[in-house]
């Protein structure tokens, strides 16, 4: 298995494009993306757990109820959420896409991201559809990922190549998200494609399992979005025997999928709104996996710790504090904490108590843009990883006037 380029176009038979159609007239950024497979795909998805859901989620659920889809249409700049005509607009987007591609509207996955509660006009999307379809390319992934960005400052793509029963397969994906990101997924908008042959049932099973250790372990600001969608299309063009049950091939597929999703998690964490640092919390030797996950998420979600990391302050007590209120019964007197980055590794807590360490060395470590918070509970064999970012002044500035 190896990392490759190509994002959602890395897998055989997928084309993509992204354009500016003018959803936000005052902006010049691309705002409409399209991903299309040459053939029908098996499809699966997971969605936000927020009770308030964007209209595109309901329409996507309807469209892939049969486990099939062939294209993904996504707009940025408007979430199409809490609008009376939201479902109607979402269906029109699917129909416009289907007509332009000579497909059925029920074979389209749809996503929207942006401001909540603002009516979405179908006119710019209708006017831009011909250009969007005309520009579809097998290397159009970068245009597509750019078109789904809102407050993102960088593109987020990942892809891997691997083998199944002697056949070379690929999985690739693109994601958007800098804020309103918190566990219980999906998280933001993520679209994944693969040329591996796998049934929609096993695709859903792989996705459901993966999000527990990928996107559900990512938190930027504690807010769970209304439009979170993670969808995956598998067109089978790699030619491997279709995966229809658990076994070695399914395990390899899940490993490849996680390589893509975890890479996207890291990139999303690094691009959190206003962030200057990616934080990765690794919990080891926990009593069980659930306990490890709860502890890792509690630490990565701590606003006090996030602020300390912004200031390169080795305030390890905030790590212990977050562990303590996580709700997991633990022997605190066995806990060890280290901070690590490209500048080195430093022990700051042992047996639940502070140890002498160089504040100067700690600051040097924490001034890097990728920080690892290493927690050894010394109470079992389970482990978990969570991702987040520091909390900065710019986060408030970005969200103080996001709508206006």
Band of residue 259 on the pLDDT scale cut at 50, 70, 90: very high
Residue 199 shares a structural domain with residue 293: no
Position 188 scores a pLDDT of 73
Confidence at residue 187, expressed as pLDDT on a 0 to 100 scale: 41
Catalytic residue among 81, 150, 151, 187: 187
User: Would you state the pLDDT for residue 181?
Assistant: 54
* Among 270, 290, 311, residue at a domain's last position: 270
Q: What percent of the chain has pLDDT over 90?
A: 80
User: Is there a single domain that holds both residue 262 and residue 307?
Assistant: no
Average predicted confidence (pLDDT) for the chain: 92
- For residues 183-188, average pLDDT: 49
- Residues 325, 259: one domain? no
Average the pLDDT over 369-388 and give the result.
97
- Kindly state whether residues 196 and 284 are assigned to the same domain: no
Residue 300 has pLDDT above 80, yes or no: yes
The share of the chain scoring above pLDDT 70, in percent, equals 95
The CATH number given to whatever domain includes residue 333 is 3.10.20.340
Of the candidates 130, 113, 105, 119, which has an alpha carbon nearest to the alpha carbon of residue 31?
113
pLDDT in tens, 112-142: 998 888 999 999 999 999 999 999 999 999 9
pTM, two decimal places: 0.86
248-270 vs 200-211: helix axis angle to the nearest 10? 50
Among 227, 248, 270, where does a domain finish?
270
Average pLDDT for 243-255:
98
Between CA 107 and CA 105 the distance in angstroms is 5
What's the structural domain count of the chain?
2
Q: What pLDDT is recorded for position 228?
A: 80
- 126 and 241 inside one domain: yes
Q: pLDDT tens digits for 43-92? A: 999 998 777 788 999 999 999 999 999 999 999 999 999 999 999 999 99
Of the two residues 317 and 225, the one the predictor is more confident about is: 317
How confident is residue 186, by pLDDT bands cut at 50, 70 and 90?
very low
pLDDT at 185: 41
Domain stop point among 270, 288, 307: 270
Span 247-256, mean pLDDT? 98
- Same domain flag for 53 and 154: yes
* 167: its two tokens: 């056949």
Do 140 and 181 lie in one domain? The reply is yes
pLDDT surpassing 70 at residue 227: no
Do 140 and 257 sit in the same domain of this protein?
yes
Instruction: Please indicate, yes or no, whether residues 227 and 308 belong to a single structural domain of this protein.
Output: no
| Active site (annotated) includes residue 187 | yes
- Within this chain, do residues 259 and 365 fall inside the same structural domain, yes or no? no
Q: Are residues 252 and 319 in the same domain?
A: no
CATH number of the domain encompassing residue 122: 3.60.70.12
Query: Sign of torsion, CA 202 191 385 161?
Result: positive
Domain that holds residue 161: 2-270
């Amino acid at each position: 298995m190896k990392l490759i380029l190509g994002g959602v176009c890395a897998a055989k038979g997928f084309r993509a494009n992204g354009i500016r159609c003018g959803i936000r007239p005052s902006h010049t950024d691309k705002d409409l993306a399209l991903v299309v497979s040459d053939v029908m795909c098996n499809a699966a998805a997971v969605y936000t757990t927020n009770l308030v859901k964007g209209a595109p989620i309901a329409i996507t659920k309807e469209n892939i109820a049969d486990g099939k889809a062939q294209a993904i249409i996504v707009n940025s700049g408007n979430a199409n959420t809490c609008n009376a005509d939201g479902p109607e607009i979402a269906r029109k987007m699917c129909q416009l896409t289907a007509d332009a591609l000579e497909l059925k509207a029920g074979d389209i996955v749809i996503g929207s991201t942006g401001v909540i509660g603002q009516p979405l006009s179908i006119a710019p999307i209708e006017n831009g559809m011909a250009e969007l379809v005309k520009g579809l390319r097998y290397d159009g992934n970068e245009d597509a990922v750019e078109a789904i960005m809102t407050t993102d400052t960088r593109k987020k793509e990942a892809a891997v190549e691997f083998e199944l029963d002697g056949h070379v397969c690929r999985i690739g994906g693109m994601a958007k998200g800098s804020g309103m990101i918190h566990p219980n997924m999906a998280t933001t908008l993520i679209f994944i494609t693969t040329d591996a042959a796998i049934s929609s049932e096993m695709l859903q099973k792989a996705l459901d399992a993966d999000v527990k250790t990928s996107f559900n372990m990512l938190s930027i600001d504690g807010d769970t979005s209304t439009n979170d969608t993670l969808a995956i299309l598998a067109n089978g063009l790699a030619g491997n025997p279709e995966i229809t049950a658990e076994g070695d091939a399914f395990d390899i597929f899940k490993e490849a999928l996680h390589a893509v999703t975890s890479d996207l998690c890291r990139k999303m964490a690094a691009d959190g709104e206003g962030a200057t640092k990616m934080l990765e919390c690794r919990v080891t030797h926990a009593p069980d996996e659930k306990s490890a996950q709860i502890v890792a998420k509690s630490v990565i979600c701590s606003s006090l710790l996030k602020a300390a990391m912004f200031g390169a302050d080795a305030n390890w007590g905030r790590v212990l504090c977050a562990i303590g209120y996580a709700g997991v019964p633990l022997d605190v007197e066995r806990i060890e904490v280290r901070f690590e980055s490209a500048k080195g590794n430093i022990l700051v807590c042992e047996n639940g108590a502070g140890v002498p360490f160089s504040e100067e060395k700690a600051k040097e470590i924490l001034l890097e843009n990728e920080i690892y918070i290493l927690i050894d509970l010394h109470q079992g064999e389970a482990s978990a990883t969570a991702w987040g970012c520091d909390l900065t002044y710019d986060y408030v500035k970005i969200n103080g006037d996001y709508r206006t």
